[in-house]
Structures are given as C-alpha cells and as structure tokens.
A and B are shown apart, each in its own frame.
Chain A
Amino acid sequence: MKSFPQILLAGVDPSDPDNWRLKNYEKREGYLALKTILREKTSPDEVLEEVKKSALRGRGGAGFPTGLKWSFMPKQYEGEKYIVCNSDEGEPGTFKDRDIMQHNPHILIEGMLIAAYTMGVKTGYNYIHGEIWKTYERMEEAVEEARAAGYLGDHILGSSFSFQLHNHHGYGAYICGEETALLESIEGKKGQPRFKPPFPANYGLYGKPTTINNTETFASVPWILRNGGEQYLQIGKPNNGGTKIFSVSGHVNNPGNFEIPLGTPFAELLEMAGGMRGGKKLKGCIPGGSSMPVLPGDVMMKTDMDYDSIAKAGSMLGSGAVIIMDETTCMVKALERLSYFYYEESCGQCTPCREGTGWLYRIINRIENGKGREEDLDLLDNIADNIQGRTICALGDAAAMPVRAMIQHFRDEFAYHIEHKKCMV
C-alpha cells in the first residue's frame, strides 16, 4: 500500500497517558495553523477558500461540502452566531469521534477555533454522546488546558479574536445526533428535530445563525490550513478529499478505527482489520453505519472506500462505520435488531416514522420467530416506501433503507424463514 499521512490520529499514542495533553499536541505542530492565521492576519475569506479547495465533506454522514456550508453563515450579522460540534456519535457501528476526543482532543479545539475565526463566531458548543462519560471529562479537561494557555477566551494569543468553547453532554437519545434535534437538546428541551429549511445557518441555536459540523470534520481543518487544501485533496480523490477514519466492527480479527485515504479499496481496509474472524467468508457488509443499505460481500470486495464509489455500489459511506458480517450471520435476526433500534429511538413526531418503525419491527420480529406470512416481504417494502421521504428528519429513511436493502439482497433467506419457520444458517 502507498504511504499516506495520518491527519486525525497522527502521533497519537493511547498507551501514553499524557500523549493527549496540550504540550504534546503542540509538539506535533498543534495550534500552528491557528497561530499562523492570527500572526499573518489571514483573512476569513482566504481560510474559507482553502477549506473549499480541500473538498472536505461532512464526516457526520451526509457528506455535505464543508466549505460551502460555512459560506452560508451571514457575514454582516449583528448579534451572536454559534458553531456547534456534533459529537453525539450514536449510529450503531460508529466509534471514531470518541477516539479523536479521547486521544487527540486539542485537534478538535483547534479546528473549531479556525472555524469560528472564519465565520466570525464567538461561542461554540461541543455536544457529546452521554454514554462516553470519560470522554466528556477528557474534553472538559482539554478545554481548561486550552483556556489556561490562551487558546480559548478573550483576545486569543493577544489578537482581536475571541472564542469561548463549552462541552454539553447528551443523556441517551440517538435522535439528538440529528442536527436540529441536537440544537433543541442544547436549548434544554426534548430532542425533537425541526423542519428544514430553514437550515441552521439561518435559524439555529437560540434562533441565531449556527453552523454544525461533525467532530471529525472540524478535526480535519488544522491540517488543511497547515498544508493547503490542494494537498488534502491530493490524498483522496477528486470530490473526496483527504483521509477518513473507518470504524470496523463485527466479524473481523482486529476491530477498531483505521484512518485511510478516501478511495482505498475495501479489501485493504479489511486486511488492516485483521481479516475475517476464523477465516470465514464475508457475507454482507454495512459500509456506513446501521442506517445505510447493506451490500453483499462480493460487491463490497470490489468497492473503494469513498463517497462516490460506495454510492455507485448501491449504499452510502455515511459515518464510516463498517459492519462486517460473515456467513454464519442470520440476516433476519440482524435486521430485527436494527429495526428494534429505530422503533425504540423514533422521537414520535411524525406518524409515518412513529407508526411505521413499529410495524417494521413487529413484522420482522414475527418472521424471525417463525410466524411470518407469505405476504410479509411485500408488506415490508410497502411500509418502507411509505416512510421514506415523508418525515421531518432522516431517521425515517434510516429505518426504511436497511429493510429494503436486506430484502433486496437476501430475499431467499427471508423467504426461507417464512416458509420453513427456521433459520437457513
């Protein structure tokens, strides 16, 4: 494999308890990008230009171009504007943002600082998944360190730029990862998504202009500014700049996070994860977190890991969670568990999602338990059709897409379950 730079996890050593600290981050060129911008008084427009050139796309799942999103923030605006980091990572299979914050917290702080500078923002919040309490404490400590060293607060490093950053924790609601639900949650309410448009850049936190990005998105920014957007783009492929962390879970020998250039063949990633556990055969893979369509093993083996290639293969890169299932996996059981998850986590605001996720789960549950009916597969497709595209947020789609893809690719297995009232594997 060709060599490539590590951007997000460069120099990171979890075995050294002090590796994450500010002084060690500084040794790995940390805060250099920020210092250069402030010293040379680089204009916000120039910074934005580099981010646009990099073709950095949102690492939270939707892949929206980051530079473009930043450009939506109103420039001449009297009053507060906000940036918010989405560290609510709850998509089954995803555990990359936790590692960034746990082992390299200052890279996120520096990324948010540069974003704030670019968009003229003075206050930011970092919303952290409630289940990773140790990581929340780590971020609290890192923010304190940065404050004490003059990287956060008023007149940062003696400049006219000021920025405050606060951590906010969730407490067990997957839906709060949806950006507008997350805003409601910071406002101290139930995490129920808002209608979009208006997008957060127009109506965000406390009704003010707000930009929300994923942890990994912000964390990619310091490198882009140090090395130039063009360099970043070069690491990946056109329209798919840079490296990305893939969280590999399931039936592999060595599950974990792997930072690789976009466009790396899936086969190489699988090898990095130690290959298939017990030398078994790859049956299926969900390449982008549980909300994305499953792909059969042979299709996956021919696919490269970037937004466009995975879309071409019939799924989505999503949050970069690669769930590996070998030949012993019962796809009915797998889908049953995922459907239960979406049913459980629906916020209940829209009828198609609230009712539809329940139906999906109950039908798959009865197939799994030997009570399936012949018409069930068409019924599932039909319900999925009636959810997709008819809801306030994408959780509805996230519940529907896996069902359709599972039935499309593993229809025989579902039919066998219904006919023989037992499992094929």
Chain B
Amino acid sequence: MLSIESLKKIDREIAKYPVDQKQSAVMSALAIAQDEKGWLANETMDFVADYLDMPPIAVYEVATFYNMYNLEPTGQYKITVCTNLPCALSGGNDAAAYLKERLGIGFNQTTVDGKFTLREGECMGACGDAPVLLVNNKRMCSFMSNEMVDKLLEELSK
C-alpha cells in the first residue's frame, strides 16, 4: 500500500522507540503516508494501523486530532497562512486577503484546476518573519509581501 521508500522511512521512525511502543511512530508514519499519497484515505490509515499493530480507530483519532493531516484530497499545493495576532500585526491578514484574491478562493477551498488549496493557520513559531505561510506543511515562506506571494504563485504554477 505504501512504497518501499516510505516503509523504510517509517521503519527508521519505529527504531526511535522501545520495541513494545511501535505506536509512538504513528504521527511520523501518517506524515510519511500523506507525503506519498497527498491525503489520508481510510485505507491508507488502515494500512498504517496494521503496520504498527494498532487498532484502526486509534489511528483515526490521531489523524483527526492534529490539524496538519489532510483527511480529504487537497489541491496539489496546500497553502496555510498564519493569521494569528502577532502575524496579523505585521501583515498576516493582508497576505491572506491577497492570496484569496489571486486564487479566487476562500479558506478551505480549492481552485477549480485542482492546483491550490488555501487554509488559515495558527502560530507557526515564526512570528518575527511575518507574514508567513506553509506550502504542503513542510516549506515555510517568510516575509510574504504581495510581490513575494506573486513570485511564489508563479513558481508553483509552472
């Protein structure tokens, strides 16, 4: 169900914990699975459950509790922009508004071409670099003025 590379990565995570505590690797296993599949379908979570000897419900609980897991398909690029107060004081809301305008969508929507999904995020621990946003959870972009947003969208649209 998951590629050999993904399984290798998951095995590396499992080795971090005591042998009888495989479940500890569930967060990273789900993140790895999501990187490969784009989102976490039930069958993907069931596979992870089986791989870590966990009841499937325990895996669903984790996947629904942490908000960086995608429980439904998203656009090719999920953009999460921080609008929490420290960022808002330095343009976080402007960046969000500009993204909405450029993409023609609101929060939690996906562009018709399936390219972009926009999300509102909470503090990413980078407030000094506001406005900040994340692309697909892992790439953080800082100081996102309108020009920087233009550049990013141009790069991702290629």
Chain A interface (Cβ within 8 Å of chain B)? 80, 89-95, 97-98, 125, 129-134, 166-174, 185-191, 206, 247-251, 255-257, 290, 321, 323-325, 329, 334, 337-338, 341, 344-345
B66 touches A337 (CB 8 A): no
CA distance A89 to B122 in the complex (A): 12
Chain B interface (Cβ within 8 Å of chain A)? 16-18, 21, 23-28, 30-31, 52, 54, 58, 61-62, 65-69, 83-90, 121-130, 134, 137-140
B68 touches A130 (CB 8 A): yes
CA distance A314 to B124 in the complex (A): 27
A98 touches B125 (CB 8 A): yes
B23 touches A187 (CB 8 A): yes
Contact partner of B27 (CB less than 8 A), chosen from A132, A170, A174, is A170
Contact partner of A92 (CB less than 8 A), chosen from B67, B84, B90, is B84
B16 touches A168 (CB 8 A): yes
B89 touches A188 (CB 8 A): no
Residue of B nearest to A334 (CB): B85
Chain A residues, Cβ within 8 Å of B90:
249-251, 255
Residue of A nearest to B63 (CB): A171
Chain B residues, Cβ within 8 Å of A250:
86, 89-90
CA distance A287 to B140 in the complex (A): 26
B65 touches A89 (CB 8 A): no
Chain A residues, Cβ within 8 Å of B138:
133-134
CA distance A97 to B65 in the complex (A): 24
CA distance A9 to B139 in the complex (A): 25
Contact partner of A173 (CB less than 8 A), chosen from B18, B30, B65, B126, is B65
Chain B residues, Cβ within 8 Å of A329:
89
**How far does the Cβ of A249 sit from chain B's closest Cβ, in whole Å?**
4
Residue of A nearest to B24 (CB): A188
**With A337-B85, A341-B84 in contact, do A189 and B62 touch (Cβ < 8 Å)?**
yes
Residue of B nearest to A93 (CB): B86
Chain A residues, Cβ within 8 Å of B139:
133
